[in-house]
A and B are shown apart, each in its own frame.
Chain A
């Protein structure tokens, strides 16, 4: 079983749709959680950190459930520019950083 597992995708949605991605992690020592975005043949870039209380940044909302070891990302009002691969990242305090395989989103006109 992988340490970090994401929805396999791909997700193909129309503009304006709401889409949700899920991620589960197996290491109970995990301390920090992030969503990164990676465009084709580019490096990953931070989308948002994920806090226990949940956090929102514009159209993006991230949630963390430590008891269930589960992270989610919700994108509202999808734009064409949201098309990318979304990577769930889980860190331990020791510096071990584990990426999920990513979920590919394509937003269509």
Chain B
């Protein structure tokens, strides 16, 4: 059974049109992460939530926002997508920080036209 679910799997949006990506988990993990992965590059951490505490990476653009309304769900909002935001967006969860394994969802591939 899928433990980290991402919807949609493929998202096409227009330049400048806001888009929201969704992640849900059945693991009851405290931590949820959002990563951006471009072709042939490493996943890049955008931000994470430890429970309700939001932690933004210093170099994450303001264009990217996140919401975590409850333990199970976390959303990534891209306010004004640019062509450079086309990428795979990966959601991951872990029980705690540092030592705990991260479990990744299948990702959402975002195309910006």
Contact = CB atoms under 8 A, between A and B. Distances in A.
Interface of A: 4, 31-32, 34, 42-46, 49, 87, 89, 91-102
A93 B98 contact: yes
B99 to A, nearest CB: 5
Contacts of B8: none
Nearest to A49: B101
B25 to A, nearest CB: 13
> B48, B98, B103 — which one has the most chain A CB atoms within 10 A of its CB?
B98
Interface residues of B, number: 24
A99 B99 contact: no
Nearest to A46: B101
15 contacts: A31-B98, A32-B99, A46-B103, A49-B101, A87-B42, A89-B102, A91-B97, A92-B98, A94-B55, A95-B31, A95-B97, A96-B57, A97-B45, A101-B40, A101-B42
Interface in B20-51: 31, 33, 35, 40-45, 48, 50
B105 interface: yes
A28 B73 CA distance: 33
Interface in B79-96: 90
Given A43-B106, A91-B98, A100 B42 contact: yes
A89 B101 CA distance: 10
Contacts of B40: 101
Given A32-B98, A87-B42, 6 more contacts: A34-B101, A42-B106, A46-B101, A46-B103, A87-B43, A101-B40
Contact of B45 (A45, A96, A101): A96
Given A44-B43, A44-B90, A91-B97, A97 B102 contact: yes
A101 B44 CA distance: 10
Contacts of B33: 97
Contacts of B35: 99
